[in-house]
């Protein structure tokens, strides 16, 4: 059974720092991995989608990497801002199954 | 704006009542799904559909029904609401291929009293 783990569960850093969020998964048989952002009481906003054949994707200050063989992904946020405060979720799309498996999320707080 | 639209945003039901959560997408995605999000449990798949007329169960289907008569719409029906169905419900859609990313709606917050 695929399990997705995100570490840390919560992170608080001062504004301007670069930071890394971690996601690990137990089964490498995935089509892709997707990072989402969720603000309190809101829906999920897709940040980055990495296909299983790719190593990384970038969007603005965000960079996500994928090492499928080791079952790891990282989300790098450069020059963090208070507006980056949210919960970040990673999810893998399983091969042979019509579903996403989510991690529990990392709750990020950026302090001004 | 293109995306996934869910209605209502909030709902309070009494135990035993029934209701339908609406979901519509305008991206011509074949695949649509319903998740529920609960504290400590994360997001769990309730039902999904790979196209009009085709539906299947996810991890937690009991107490819910779905149908898919059009590509655009995928309603979720609660047959007889129970307090255990208090949750936030998200609808999601994607292209039905291995590379497709998911687009989520803004959610429906349901409370059953």
What string of pLDDT tens digits covers the 112 residues of chain A?
A: 889 999 999 999 999 999 999 999 999 999 999 999 999 989 999 999 999 999 999 999 999 999 999 999 999 999 999 999 999 999 999 887 778 899 999 999 999 9
Residue pair B28/B48 in contact by the 8 Å Cβ criterion: no
Residue B98: what pLDDT? 65
Using CB atoms within 10 A of its CB, is residue B48 exposed (0-12), middle (13-18) or buried (19+)?
buried
**pLDDT over 70 (residue B1):** no
**pLDDT over 80 (residue B26):** yes
| Chosen from B98, B108, B109, B110 to mutate, greatest number of chain A CBs within 10 A | B98
Give the span between the Cα atoms of B24 and B70, in whole angstroms: 10
SS3 readout for B40-105: CCEEEEEEEEEECCEEEECCCCCCEEECCCCCCECCEEECCCCHHHCEEEEEEEECCCCCCCCEEC
- Look up tokens 């042979």; give the residue: A96
Residue B32: what pLDDT? 94
- When pLDDT is averaged across residues B14-22 and rounded to a whole number, the result is 97
Query: B89 - beta bridge partners?
Result: B36, B108
Chain A neighbours among B 35-94 (CB < 8 Å)?
A: 40, 42-43, 45, 48, 50, 56, 58-59, 90, 92
- When pLDDT is averaged across residues B91-102 and rounded to a whole number, the result is 83
Residue pair B31/B96 in contact by the 8 Å Cβ criterion: yes
Residue A62: what pLDDT? 97
């Amino acid at each position: 059974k695929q399990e997705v783990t995100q570490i840390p569960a919560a992170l608080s850093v001062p504004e301007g720092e670069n930071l890394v969020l971690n996601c690990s998964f137990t089964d490498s048989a995935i089509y892709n991995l997707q990072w989402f952002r969720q603000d309190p009481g809101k829906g999920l906003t897709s940040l980055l989608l990495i296909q299983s054949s790719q190593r990384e994707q970038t969007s603005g200050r965000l960079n996500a990497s994928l090492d499928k063989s080791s079952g790891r992904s990282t989300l790098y946020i450069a020059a963090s801002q208070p507006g980056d405060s949210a919960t970040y979720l990673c999810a893998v799309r399983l091969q042979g199954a019509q579903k996403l498996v989510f991690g529990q999320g990392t709750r990020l707080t950026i302090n001004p | 704006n293109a995306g996934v639209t869910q209605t209502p945003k909030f709902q309070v039901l009494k135990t035993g009542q029934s209701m339908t959560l609406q979901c519509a997408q305008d991206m011509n995605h074949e695949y649509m799904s319903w998740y529920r999000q609960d504290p400590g449990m994360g997001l769990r798949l309730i039902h999904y559909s790979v196209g009009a007329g085709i539906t299947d169960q996810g991890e937690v289907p009991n107490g819910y029904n779905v149908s898919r008569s059009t590509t655009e719409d995928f309603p979720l029906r609660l047959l007889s609401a129970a307090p255990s169905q208090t949750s936030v419900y998200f609808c999601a859609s994607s292209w039905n291929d291995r590379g497709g990313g998911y687009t989520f709606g803004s959610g429906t917050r349901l409370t059953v009293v």
